Amino acid sequence: MLNTVLFDLDGTLLNIDMECFLKKYFASMMVMANEYGYQSADKLAAQVYKSTDVMIADLDHESTNEEVFMRDFYANWAYPPEEFQSFFEKFYEERFPLLHKYCRPFPGVKAMMEKLFARGLKVVVATNAVFPLSALQNRLDWAQVGHFDYELITSYEVMHFCKPHVQYYEEICDKIGVLPHECLMVGNDVGEDLIAGKAGMKTFLVEDMLIDRGENLQPDYRGRLTDLFKFMEGL
């Protein structure tokens, strides 16, 4: 019996064009780096991208995603962590919240979430674990669902794996004490979200902002958000 629902965040709970958003995100980061006088500001986005790719590929269960990212980033960055780490912290505290204008909530998502919590289901925010918790909390707030008491939000501080690895979904189950067959993964990305089926979870593909790179993965259920809302009523 299903007792746990995992939700992807971007494009599922939050109406956001991540390609556009990331351009604004990195532009804001580089502007701030220039303001702080860092001479390598023009190279910052490229290094963050490269270190993120290293983090996503890593399957070391001993290191958190944050540790993997920071280890690679500072091995290839001109400024040491004791100097530059405060820059990251200030960026997420001061500049990241200003990016809210590049996204908006989906109508009906907040009401759906209220009903799921009222019924006592476990709910996980299963977004790819490449951002700090503060950035995820901001995006949940922008989606109008940031105030709920989730079982887990998969930030890079607490996770050891990323999508699209099966280990990411297995780690979620281990952390919250459920079995894969008790879980439903809901997301809009075929490659990143439907891989949960390989871990033994049921999957629902949300088609409003569908991302399909041609992966040969099939969901158990699919439809638009309005279909998801009806499906959840009968879960």
Run of H or E including 34: helix 18-35
- What b/e sequence results for 22-33 when a residue is b if at least 16 CB atoms lie within 10 Å of its CB, and e otherwise? eeebeebbbebb
Query: Alpha-carbon Rg of the chain, whole angstroms?
Result: 18
Per-residue pLDDT at 134 exceeds 90: yes
The separation between CA 206 and the C-alpha centre of its own chain, rounded to angstroms, equals: 16
Tens of pLDDT, residue by residue over 172-220, are 999 999 999 999 999 999 999 999 999 999 999 999 999 999 999 999 9
Model-wide pTM > 0.85: yes
Banded model confidence at residue 149, pLDDT cuts 50, 70, 90: very high
For the segment 109-121, the average pLDDT, to the nearest whole number, is: 97
The angle that helices 81-90 and 18-35 make with each other, rounded to 10 degrees, is 130
> Looking at residue 30, what is its pLDDT?
95
Share of the chain above pLDDT 70, in %: 100
> Looking at residue 41, what is its pLDDT?
86
Task: For residue 41, give both structure tokens.
Answer: 């500001």
